[in-house]
């Protein structure tokens, strides 16, 4: 089944509405409430296995307005390259990166902007 068809599936539609409702029908990046809203997946794999869009843990799906959603998709690849390079330049070992990944995956809510106050793994 193509991804576009999966987004028409009643299971996805129900899941999507739960996400939008949880986020008060508000973009979690810019606060917009008057634009088309999307339920954006932060990841599609659970324990290394790709799952259906409605099977992703809800904390890995966030409400974004159309503008922020487009920007997120356009910037993702470049951001990931820059992050990997920054970690290498700062001397992060593979073990350190894995520890950081585990800390990030265990956060109860994704960090969407600098305004969030999530504790650092270094605290």
* Number of domains the chain is built from: 1
Ramachandran angles phi, psi of 70, nearest 5°: -65, -45
Domain hosting 55: range is 3-105
The answer to whether residue 11 is domain-embedded is yes
Q: What is the pLDDT of residues 52-90, one digit of tens each?
A: 999 999 988 999 999 999 988 887 788 888 888 998 899
Helices (H), 23-116: 66-89, 94-105
Q: How would residue 45 be classed by pLDDT, with cut points 50, 70 and 90?
A: confident
The model scores a pTM over 0.95: no
Confidence label for 44 from pLDDT (cuts 50, 70 and 90): confident
Domain assignment present for residue 114? The answer is: no
Residue 111 lies in a domain: no
- Report if residue 37 sits inside a domain: yes
38's enclosing H/E stretch is strand 37-41
> Is residue 117 included in any domain, yes or no?
no
Does some domain include residue 83? yes
For residue 115, tell me if it sits in a domain: no
Contact between 27 and 37 (Cβ < 8 Å)? yes
- Domain membership of residue 50 (yes or no) is yes
Q: What is the pLDDT of residue 111?
A: 60
Q: How far apart are CA 93 and CA 88, in angstroms?
A: 8
């Amino acid at each position: 089944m193509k991804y576009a068809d999966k987004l028409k599936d009643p299971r996805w539609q129900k899941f999507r509405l739960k996400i939008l409702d949880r986020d008060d029908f508000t973009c979690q990046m810019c606060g917009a409430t008057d634009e088309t809203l999307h339920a954006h997946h932060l990841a599609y794999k659970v324990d290394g296995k790709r799952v259906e869009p409605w099977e992703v843990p809800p904390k890995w799906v966030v409400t974004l307005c159309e503008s922020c959603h487009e920007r997120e998709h356009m910037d993702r690849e470049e951001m990931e390259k820059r992050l990997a390079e920054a970690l290498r330049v700062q001397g992060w070992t593979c073990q350190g990166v894995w520890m950081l990944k585990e800390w990030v995956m265990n956060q109860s809510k994704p960090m969407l902007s600098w305004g969030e106050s999530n504790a650092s793994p270094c605290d």
